[in-house]
Chains A and B, each alone.
Chain A
Amino acid sequence: MGKLMTLLEAVAPIKDGDTILVGGFGPMGYPGRVMRTILKQTELKDLFFIANAANQNYLPALEKMLMTRSRGMIATFTRPSKAAEKLYNEGKLELIPQGTFSERIRAGGAGIPAFYTPVGFGTAVEEGKPTIEIDGVKYLMEKAIKADVALIKAAVVDLDGNCFMTGCTKNFGTLMPAAAKYTVVEAEKLVKPGKIDPELVTVPGILIDAIVKVGA
């Protein structure tokens, strides 16, 4: 079977309890059609979402699933989101700095189990983490993030899964596929292999398992 699928076929491998990386900086690069399909056409539950932001206005499908079908979330910014507030009050929301978020995902995909960063000392982010001093500077150890599923969006995708992401839509979508066992990409435009300049590929096709055509 090729990688090009319907939305329902693409989300079929996702299971109850899965950890799901969701691309996008706000609505830009966010795979809204795939998220709506999971919300409206599956009964999936106990999902754990890893996304830069929750936002009840711009990311409604994520908001609804966080409220009723999620066991927790890792995020960097969650305003405004009633669902994120609820998870936070239940101790199920891990808030982390955005650079640490990016690097934990990058590390997860790159075979690096943990790294050290100076970001977070003197704040809640520091709690419970090992520290080290290197050349007189103190660092926190942050562990890599790996997930079952990544859901991303790209401006152009070829049938082998090679992705080209434009402008500021690269954000986390370039990092997430390598950190997940199964990746679905929403293609605004679909082309034959070879039609994306190889110099411009932002995610190599070997990391993509399912392509859904959504239009711009």
Chain B
Amino acid sequence: MMFSDGDVVNLGIGLPTIIPNHIPPGLKITLQGENGVLGLGPAPPLHEINKDVFDAGGGWATLNPGGSFFDSAVSFGLIRGGHVDITVLGALQVDKEGNLANWMVPGKLMAGYGGAMDLITCAKKVIVAMEHTNKGDPKIFNKCSFPLTGAHCVDVIVTNMAFIEVTPEGLLVKEIAPNVTVDELKNATEADLIIPDDVAVMTVYE
């Protein structure tokens, strides 16, 4: 578990949005939305939607007791000022130096940065959560080829195949998924991996 009691956490759009459904009972973290909210709760049932409460992906949300609303200058002041402990976001490419690309595919797709660039520069810990490959094509490289969202910013990469730490020596595989072999992991990854002989098996939380 990468979250500690009391952490302020920002979740990006895509895969990270499923995290609130998997937080163990008893762990108290505060979710921040860069759209101006601290203390985000789960999505409401349809009949309880408040049209002015939503998350940074535009999905309806609720506010937990003790939560608060503020404007975008305050919201990014919190982020830039180092008051967000952890950001979890998706990636198109990530590399062994901790570079992250998630805002455009040259010639194909142009999304923009949103709040990602501020978050990955200023949050204390940056976790990339993504599918290990894009339909079989690697997403983890020795060097990103797409334009970067941030340089030397990623601390941890979590995928359906492995839990990987970005270290000065390179990408260190800390855990491997129960149904994945070392060879399968290497084949799905363009980057060189450091895989200890006694690499742990990933704990899967239901």
Q: Kindly identify, within residues 1 to 37 of chain A, every residue whose CB is under 8 Å from any CB belonging to chain B.
A: 25-28
Shortest CB-to-CB span from A23 to chain B, Å, is 10
Q: C-beta contact mask, B51-80 vs A, less than 8 Å → 1, else 0?
A: 111101010000100000111110111011
Is A102 a contact of B114 with CB atoms below 8 Å? no
Q: How far is the CB of B80 from chain A (nearest CB, A)?
A: 5
Q: Give the distance in Å from the alpha carbon of A169 to the alpha carbon of B112 in the complex.
A: 21
Stretch at the interface among B115-123, B133-141, B181-189: B115-123
Complex CA–CA separation, A169 to B116 (angstroms): 20
Q: Which of B33-41, B170-178, B192-200 interfaces with chain A? A: B33-41
B122: A residues at CB distance < 8 A: 118-119
In the complex, identify which listed stretch (B16-24, B144-152, B160-168) lies at the interface while the others stay far away.
B144-152
Residue-by-residue, is B71-98 near A (CB-CB < 8 Å gives 1, otherwise 0)? 1110111011000000000000000000
Chain B residue contacts of A100, Cβ below 8 A: 117-118
**Given the known A-B contacts A76-B115, A78-B112, are A168 and B36 also in contact in the complex, defined by CB atoms under 8 Å?**
yes
- Are the CB atoms of B148 and A122 closer together than 8 Å? yes
Separation of A88 and B107 alpha carbons in the complex (Å): 11
Q: Determine whether the beta carbon of B113 is less than 8 Å from that of A98.
A: yes
Pick from A26, A28, A75, A125: contact of B117, CB under 8 Å: A125
CB contact between A167 and one of B52, B76, B113 (< 8 Å): that residue: B52
Are B115 and A97 touching (Cβ within 8 A)?
yes
- Known pairs A121-B151, A123-B151; A172 contacts B71 (CB<8 A): yes
B109 within 8 A of A: yes
Within 8 A of B (CB), among A36-53: 52-53
CA–CA, A122 to B72, complex, Å? 24
User: Within the complex, what minimum Cβ distance (angstroms) separates B16 from chain A?
Assistant: 16
Residue-wise, chain A 87-119 has the 8 Å CB interface mask toward B (1 for contact) of 010000001111111110110000000000111
User: Do residues A175 and B80 form an inter-chain contact, with CB atoms below 8 A?
Assistant: no
Task: Give the total of B residues in contact with A, Cβ under 8 Å.
Answer: 43
Assess the B117–A77 pair: CB atoms within 8 A: no
Residues of B within 8 A of A171 (CB): 35-36, 71-72
Q: Is A120's CB within 8 Å of the partner chain B?
A: yes
The answer to whether B110 has its CB under 8 Å from any CB of chain A is yes
Residues of B within 8 A of A98 (CB): 34, 72, 76, 113-115, 117-118
* Contact of B111 with A by CB under 8 A: yes
A170 at the interface (CB under 8 A from B): yes
Contact of A168 among B52, B103, B149, B151 (CB under 8 A): B52
Our pick among A28, A106, A118, A166 for the contact of B80 (Cβ within 8 Å) is A118
Residue on B nearest A107 in the bound complex, by CB: B73
Q: Is the Cβ of B113 less than 8 Å from the Cβ of A97?
A: yes
* Interface residue? B4 (CB, 8 A): no
Max chain B CB contacts within 10 Å: which of A100, A123, A172, A174? A123
Q: How far is the CA of A97 from the CA of B76 in the complex (A)?
A: 10
Nearest-CB residue, chain A, relative to B109: A79
B151 contacts A122, C-beta separation under 8 Å: yes
Which interface residue of B99, B113, B115, B148 has the most chain A CB atoms within 10 A? B113
- Chain A residue numbers with a CB within 8 Å of B53 are 167-168
Residues from chain A with Cβ under 8 Å of B33 in the complex? 168
- Which of B72, B76, B113 meets A77, CB within 8 Å? B113
Q: Does A85 contact B (CB under 8 A)?
A: yes
A109 to B113, CA, bound (A): 24
- Determine the chain A residues whose CB is within 8 A of the CB of B80 once the complex forms: 99, 103, 117-119
B-side residues, CB < 8 A to A, are: 33-37, 50-54, 56, 58, 63, 69-73, 75-77, 79-80, 99, 103, 109-118, 121-122, 147-152
17 contacts between A and B (CB under 8 A): A28-B51, A77-B111, A79-B112, A84-B110, A88-B110, A99-B115, A100-B117, A102-B71, A103-B76, A119-B118, A122-B99, A123-B147, A123-B148, A167-B69, A168-B52, A168-B69, A170-B36
